[in-house]
Amino acid sequence: MTSTPTALRTLRHYGHSARALSLALGLRRMRIFKLLVTLCALLAWVVALGAASAQLTHNIYHHWQLDKRSSLMIYLPPDTDPTALNQLVATLPTLAGVDNVAVVPPTTLQGWLAPVISNTAALPLPTVVQLSVAGDAPRNAVRATLAQGFPTAELDDHAPVLQDVGRIIEALQRGAAILGLVMLAILALIIGLTVRVGLLARQHAIQLLIQLGATDASLALALLRSVVGHVCLGTLVGTLAAAALLAAASATTPVLASHMAANVWLALLCAPLLLPALAAAVTALTALGMIRRV
């Protein structure tokens, strides 16, 4: 506990400023305030990575969706008549919304199958036609064209898969938001407990400072200054740790690096700022109520 002579010397030197009252209360020397820095660093690390991961996942899905939504794959039997195939390739570009038509070379198909099948040269590979389309309208026209000349052809439409993946991404984003709210709730409980313990431990010093002319508002401001300072320090440490981890992951994973846009870093840096804001609000409400009862 801060002694009476120490509090008096502090007030004579600094006056009744928030810094003087904070020093007079001796809050920085309390272990619970040092522990607050560590806890806030962990919370900031989780919140920053959660926000950045949610934004990164959205970027990856958005790019993949744009790539897959604009393409269709037609699978024809291996023994497809070349003349009928050429006629199909010539007919498809005339359909509204079909931008480009190309037959996938057999060597490309073998390259697709190579990771899962060792010997692809002896396999009867299907004839694959790749289409670039704009919007959903061309799909029905392509299906009608295939039904007339190639009833056994299969049309690979990515729309159902995109819908399933989209629902998964939305669920992950909701999970990240819920996790963030849980972290903020935990921080609010920690801040409330820290303020209560700090004020109870410095009850004698608070009574003395009030007798020396300190007001409830000035004491609350001193406590606010100390708590927010510790929270900001922990938030800074946690955010820097999260940024270092994300940078390392980006450097070692090319897929992540290609989608590491500015919005990912913005989410990582901005999300932890909720911690000091919440700490200030909880401290102000808790401190004023506690000081008036001292």
Residue 64 has pLDDT above 70, yes or no: no
Is 170 found in the same domain as 217? yes
- Tokens of residue 62, six digits: 């958005």
The stretch 95-119 carries a mean pLDDT of 78
**Which element (helix H / strand E) includes 212?**
none
> Residues 17, 141: one domain?
no
- The verdict on residue 71 lying in a domain is no
Q: Taking the mean position of all CA atoms in its chain, how far away is CA 256?
A: 13
Mean pLDDT taken over the chain: 78
Pairing of strands 98-103, 154-156: unpaired
Where a domain ends, among 129, 152, 175?
152
Q: Which two tokens stand for residue 20?
A: 């003087």
The Cα–Cα gap between 288 and 284 comes to 6
Where do we find the tokens 């994973």? 253
pLDDT band for position 265 (cuts 50, 70, 90):
very high
Residue 236 resides in a domain? yes
- Is the pTM value of this prediction over 0.85? no
Closest CA to 146 of 101, 107, 99: 101
Residues 135 and 268 in one domain: no
Q: Of 166, 180, 149, nearest to 267 (Cα)? A: 180
Nearest by Cα to 53 from 288, 283, 271 = 271
- pLDDT value, residue 1: 43
Count of structural domains, the chain: 2
**pLDDT at residue number 8:** 43
In this structure, the answer to whether residues 195 and 275 fall within a common structural domain is yes
In this structure, the answer to whether residues 193 and 286 fall within a common structural domain is yes
Distance CA 248, CA 290 (A): 45
Q: Would residue 73 count as lying in a domain?
A: no
Task: Specify which of 94-103, 182-191, 252-261 reaches the highest per-range mean pLDDT.
Answer: 182-191
Tens digits of residue pLDDT in 206-232? 666 666 666 767 777 777 888 888 899
Q: How far is CA 261 from CA 55, 138, 172, 285, in A?
A: 9, 32, 19, 39
In terms of residue numbers, what domain contains 220? 4-65+162-293
